Structure 1
Amino acid sequence: MAIQPQTSDPASTVIVETIRPARLGTRLVHPVLRTTLQQFLRAGAWVADRGPRPAKLIFTATRLSEQPARILGSPRGIRREPVVFERFDAEWLWGAPVPDPRVDREAALLYFHGGAFIAGGLNSYRRHTARLATLSELPVLTVDYRQLPDAHPNDSLDDALTAYRHLLAEGFPPEQIIVAGDSAGGGLALRLALTLRELGLPLPVALSVTSPWADFDSTARLAHPNARYDAVLPAVGPDMVVRRGIAIDGVLDPSWSVVNHDFTGLPPILLQVGSREMLLADALAVARRAESAGVPLRLQIRPSAPHTLIHLGADLLADGRDAARDAADFHRAMIESGRADRTAA
C-alpha cells in the first residue's frame, strides 16, 4: 500500500500520511455496526447512567463478558505463556522464528488492550496481539490490567508501570521495547510514557497507539462532528464511564488525561485513527501535543475506519490488515533503529 507523506510545514515533527480510500467492506461495516453494536452500547450506557448501583452492575457484567472469548483461541503457530503478577495477569505471545522471550530477552512489544476501562482482556484481544507478534516479528506481552468497577484507571497505570518494570528487570533493553495499545489502552500507553519520564526511568524506543482515549474531559469529543458519525461508540458512552467510574466524588483530575501534559522527551509515536470515529478529537489533540514538544509523530487517519476495527477487524477487513502491516513496519523500523543506537553506544 503506497503511503505518501503529507504535511503543511516541512519543519513539523508531525507527518500526516495519505491513506488510500476505504474499501467497500469498510464502508459497509458502518450501517451494520450502527444498527447493532452501537445500539447495544447505547442501551448499556443508558442503564449504567441511572445511578452508582446500575453503573457498577453494568461494569461488572461487561468484565464478565470477557470469559466467553476464551473460545477464540490463538492462531496456529503462535505460542502462548501466561505471566502472573500480584494484582493482574499477562501473557506472552510469539511465533517462529521469534525466539522464546523467557530465554532470549532481545526485544519486545508491550501491549495494553482497549475497552473503556470496563471491557477487553487477554481472551478477546489474543488474535489481534498474535497478529501483531507475527507481523512485527516480536514477542508481545499483553497486560490484563485492572479495570472498573474494581479499580480506577490510576490503578491501571500502576499495573502498566509494573509490567514495564518487569521487562526491564528481565533484561529487555528499553531501546528494544515498544509500548502499544488501542483506545483506553492507547491512552494508557501514552500515560505510561509520561510517568516513566517523570520517574526518571528509561523510555521505550517508540509508542504505537490506535485511537487513543487521551482526554477524559468529554467536551471536545462531544463538540466534534464525529460524535454523530461514529458507528461504534455512542456519544454518551465514554462520558458515562467518566462520570460514573473515573471521576471521584464528581471531580475529574486534569492530570489523568494525557492531552494535558507536555510531551517533551517522549519517543517517536505512530498514531492510527479512523476518520469517522469519535476519538479522532483525542488523536488530533495528541498530535498537537507532540508537535508543540518536537516529538516525531506519524499520523494515519484511515478513511471510514470504525473505532477499534482499524486492527481488530483485520480478520475480515482488508483495510484492517493494511493498518496492521503499517504498524508492524513501524515496529520493526523502530526496533532496528534502537538496535543500531545500542550498537553504536
Structure 2
Amino acid sequence: MRIRQSGTPGYSAPPTSVDDHTTLEPPQGPSRVSLVAHTGSRGMVRPALRAGVAVAAPALRALPQGLGIPLTRKADQALFWLRPPRGTRLSRVRHDHWRAEWVRGPGPHRGPEVIMYMHGGADVTGGLNSWRRMVGRLSKAAYGIPVFNLEYRLAPKATVSDAMEDALSAYRWLLDHGTPANRIVLAGDSFGAGLAFATVLGARAAGLPDPAGVVAISPVLDFDFATKAAHPNAARDPFTPSQLSALVDVARARGLVNAPSPVDGDLTDFPPVLMQVGSTEIFRADCEQMAVRLEQAGVPYRLQVWDRQLHVWHLFADVIPEARQAIADIAAFVDQVTSQH
C-alpha cells in the first residue's frame, strides 16, 4: 500500500490519502526529538530485548504451573511518582479480579461520555501508575471526558482469556452503573489495544450493546507472528518478531495464550475504529491486516501511520510533539463517535 502524506486536525495542510482510510502523519515529517528517539531505540532496545528473552523464556518454561512471578507489577509500582496534568482528579474502583482508576482531566465536560482504557505491557507488566499521566493527557485533550483506566490480571498468574474476561467485566460494570454504551469509547495500546477489540467481540457474544468506537495504539491484534515476520518492518523495528514469538511460543505451550486473535473475529457491523501505529513498527502488519478485515466488513475506520515513531510514543508526550498531536487526534475521534447518536 502506497501512502501519501496527510494532515491532521489543527494542521494547515489539507488531509490527503490514497484510500480515504490510511494517512501518513505528520505532514511536515517527524520532529528532531522523534528522530533521535527512533534511532536510539534501535541501538538500545533490540540488545536489551534479546538479553531479556534469553533469560525470560527459560525461566517461564521452568516455572511451576500456576505460579506467578511477583515482579510483574513491581515496575508499575515504582512509577507512583508519575503524576497526571495539574487539575486532574483521581478515584479508585475495585472489583473481584480487576481494579480501575477514574482519571478526570480539567475541562468543561459534564456529559455521560467515558473512555475505557486498557494499558499495554505484553500482558506481563503495566498498571495504573505507568499510564496515569498519559491517560490524564487524553482526558484533558478531550475537554475533561473521564478515562476509566483499567488494571486487568497479568500473566503468568492469569491467561489471555482472563485479561479479556476482566475487560469485558469492566465494560459491563460501566453499563450497569449508568453509562450508555453509545457514549463509551474503548481504547488501549499494544496488548491492551487487542483487548479493546476483544471486548467488543465478547460484548456481542454476551448480548451487550456495542460501544461508540474503538481506539487502538500500536496494537497487538494477531497472536501469530508469521505475518509480522514477513513484513518489511521486521528488519526495522527494535522489537523483532523472532524474539517476541519465542516468548509467545513458551506462553502458548503453558496455556497462557488460550484465546483467538482479535483480527480473526467477526467484524460485521463493528463500531468505528481509529488505529495509530509507527511507520517502522512490526505491529503495522497487524494494523494492515485489521484494515483489510474492516474494509471487507464495511466498517468505518482510519489508520494513521506515524512517521518513525516509537512503540506507543504517546507515553512520551512530555518530550515528543507527535505524541501530543496523536492524543489530540484520539480526542477528536472520541468527540466524533460519541456525538453521532
C-alpha displacement at 1:54, in angstroms?
5.7
Q: How does 1:230-309 map to 2 (within 5 A)?
A: 230-231=237-238, 233-245=239-251, 247-249=252-254, 256-309=260-313
Query: Could you tell me whether the CA contact under 8 Å between 1:59 and 1:118 is conserved in 2?
Result: no
**Aligned with 1:40 (options 41, 48, 51):** 48
Q: How does 1:307-326 map to 2 (within 5 A)?
A: 307-309=311-313, 311-326=314-329
C-alpha displacement at 1:34, in angstroms?
1.9
C-alpha displacement at 1:6, in angstroms?
1.5
1:249 and 1:67 map into 2 onto residues whose CA distance is: 27
1:187 and 1:59 map into 2 onto residues whose CA distance is: 23
Which residue identity does 2:262 align to in structure 1? V
Q: 1:123 corresponds to which residue?
A: 129
1:53 and 1:304 map into 2 onto residues whose CA distance is: 35
C-alpha displacement at 1:182, in angstroms?
0.5
Q: Give the match's secondary structure for 2:73.
A: helix
Query: Would you say 1:192 and 2:199 are equivalent positions?
Result: yes
C-alpha displacement at 1:248, in angstroms?
4.4
Q: Could you say if the C-alpha distance between residues 67 and 288 of structure 1 is closer, same or farther in structure 2, counting changes exceeding 3 Å?
A: same
Query: Would you say 1:95 and 2:95 are equivalent positions?
Result: no
1:251 and 1:329 map into 2 onto residues whose CA distance is: 36
Task: State TM-score, norm by structure 2.
Answer: 0.89
Which 5+ residue runs of structure 2 have no aligned equivalent? Answer: 1-10
Query: Could you tell me whether the CA contact under 8 Å between 1:211 and 1:280 is conserved in 2?
Result: yes
Q: Give the match's secondary structure for 2:281.
A: coil
C-alpha displacement at 1:199, in angstroms?
2.1
Which residue identity does 2:288 align to in structure 1? L
Query: Would you say 1:49 and 2:57 are equivalent positions?
Result: yes
Q: Give the match's secondary structure for 1:179.
A: strand
1:117 and 1:61 map into 2 onto residues whose CA distance is: 13
2:131 and 2:74 map into 1 onto residues whose CA distance is: 15
Q: For each residue in 1:288-319, what CA deviation from the matched residue of structure 2 results, as whole angstroms up to 9, or x when unmatched?
A: 1100100001110011111111x112111111
- Percent identical pairs in the alignment equals 36
Query: Could you tell me whether the CA contact under 8 Å between 1:133 and 1:139 is conserved in 2?
Result: yes
Q: Could you say if the C-alpha distance between residues 55 and 44 of structure 1 is closer, same or farther in structure 2, counting changes exceeding 3 Å?
A: farther
1:250 and 1:174 map into 2 onto residues whose CA distance is: 33
Q: 2:4 corresponds to which residue?
A: none
Q: Give the match's secondary structure for 1:271.
A: strand
Q: 2:339 corresponds to which residue?
A: 336
Query: Could you tell me whether the CA contact under 8 Å between 1:105 and 1:171 is conserved in 2?
Result: no
Q: Give the match's secondary structure for 2:288.
A: helix
Query: Could you tell me whether the CA contact under 8 Å between 1:262 and 1:289 is conserved in 2?
Result: no
Task: State TM-score, norm by structure 1.
Answer: 0.88
Query: Could you tell me whether the CA contact under 8 Å between 2:160 and 2:257 is conserved in 1?
Result: no
2:52 and 2:134 map into 1 onto residues whose CA distance is: 25
Q: Could you say if the C-alpha distance between residues 94 and 3 of structure 1 is closer, same or farther in structure 2, counting changes exceeding 3 Å?
A: farther
Q: Could you say if the C-alpha distance between residues 3 and 83 of structure 1 is closer, same or farther in structure 2, counting changes exceeding 3 Å?
A: farther
2:48 and 2:311 map into 1 onto residues whose CA distance is: 15
1:282 and 1:40 map into 2 onto residues whose CA distance is: 24
Equivalent pairs, count: 325
Query: Could you tell me whether the CA contact under 8 Å between 1:5 and 1:16 is conserved in 2?
Result: no
Which residue identity does 2:39 align to in structure 1? P
C-alpha displacement at 1:321, in angstroms?
1.1
Query: Would you say 1:26 and 2:29 are equivalent positions?
Result: no
Q: Give the match's secondary structure for 2:216.
A: strand
C-alpha displacement at 1:105, in angstroms?
6.7
Q: How does 1:74-153 map to 2 (within 5 A)?
A: 74-98=84-108, 106-137=112-143, 138-153=145-160
RMSD: 2.1
Query: Could you tell me whether the CA contact under 8 Å between 1:228 and 1:235 is conserved in 2?
Result: no
Q: Give the match's secondary structure for 1:49.
A: helix
Q: For each residue in 1:123-172, what CA deviation from the matched residue of structure 2 results, as whole angstroms up to 9, or x when unmatched?
A: 01011110111101210001000011110110001100111011101100
Q: Could you say if the C-alpha distance between residues 197 and 6 of structure 1 is closer, same or farther in structure 2, counting changes exceeding 3 Å?
A: same
Which 5+ residue runs of structure 1 have no aligned equivalent? Answer: 9-13
| Comparing 44-53 and 291-300, the one that deviates more | 44-53
Q: For each residue in 1:192-227, what CA deviation from the matched residue of structure 2 results, as whole angstroms up to 9, or x when unmatched?
A: 111112222100011111111000011111121212
Q: Give the match's secondary structure for 1:4.
A: coil
Structure with higher helix content: 1
2:68 and 2:135 map into 1 onto residues whose CA distance is: 26
Q: For each residue in 1:207-265, what CA deviation from the matched residue of structure 2 results, as whole angstroms up to 9, or x when unmatched?
A: 1111110000111111212121113x2334431331122x1457966x52011122111
Q: 1:11 corresponds to which residue?
A: none
C-alpha displacement at 1:108, in angstroms?
0.4
Which residue identity does 2:47 align to in structure 1? Q
| Comparing 191-200 and 209-218, the one that deviates more | 191-200
Query: Could you tell me whether the CA contact under 8 Å between 1:116 and 1:241 is conserved in 2?
Result: no
